[in-house]
Amino acid sequence: MPEYSFTLNAEPVTVDVPAEVPLLWVLRDVLGVRGPKYGCGIEVCHACTCLLDEAAVLPCRLPMDRVQGRTVTTIEGLADGETLHPVQQAWLDLDVAQCGYCQPGQIMNAVALLARNPDPDDDAIDEIDNVCRCGTYYRIRQAIKRAAAVLRDKPTSRTS
């Protein structure tokens, strides 16, 4: 089997898996990273969303041969030590999560959105398109706006 080396949450990793194995299964089953969730497996629910070189991707369908040499960030890699990323903090402050299953994917998509659009309007936020069965979309929107404000006020903040 081929080896694939990449950076995961700021740490170099190497895995020995077939090229067609999706990144999600490598993260969860090989590396023990549990933040990205398996939901639908067909790129619809977005519960598995993580960042690949700071862009949101769906690892449930992303083969390992497209990950070689790149940087992957999961929800586990967002915090800066004990300091949560502003999106994570806003989620807590506004009690966004109910069941919590989709929240890592929601948060990762919000981080990617704010990296490319520091002041998103409701339409931009609604394009995130994650499925939340609990229906917390209003609180999600409010949390993204709060995190955007925090990030705009912190010129040296981390966004991934």
Q: What is the dihedral of CA 75, 81, 87, 92, to 10 degrees?
A: 100
Instruction: Indicate the DSSP class of residue 28.
Output: I
- Using one digit for the tens of pLDDT, what is the confidence trace for 116-135? 999 999 999 999 989 988 88
pLDDT of residue 155: 59
What pLDDT score was predicted for residue 100? 86
Average pLDDT, the chain: 93
pLDDT of 97: 87
Separation between Cα atoms, residue 64 and residue 50, nearest integer Å: 14
- Classify domain 86-153 by CATH number: 1.10.150.120
Q: What is the distance of C-alpha 88 from the center of its chain?
A: 11
pLDDT in tens, 54-90: 999 999 999 999 999 999 999 999 999 999 999 999 9
Give the residue with greater pLDDT, 51 vs 131.
51
Average pLDDT over residues 25-33: 98
Answer whether residue 159 shows pLDDT above 70.
Answer: no
Q: Tell me, what's the pLDDT at 84? A: 97
For the chain, the structural domain boundaries read: 3-77, 86-153
> What is the pLDDT at residue 134?
86
State yes or no: pLDDT of 157 exceeds 50: no
Alpha helical stretches, state H, 31-158: 86-93, 103-116, 122-126, 137-153
CATH superfamily of 3-77: Beta-grasp domain (3.10.20.30)
Q: Do 89 and 78 contact (CB within 8 A), yes or no?
A: no
Mean pLDDT of 122-149: 92
Helices (H) and strands (E) in the chain, counts: 5, 5
Residue 160: pLDDT over 50: no
Give yes or no on whether 3-77 and 86-153 have one common fold. Answer: no
pLDDT at 26 over 50: yes
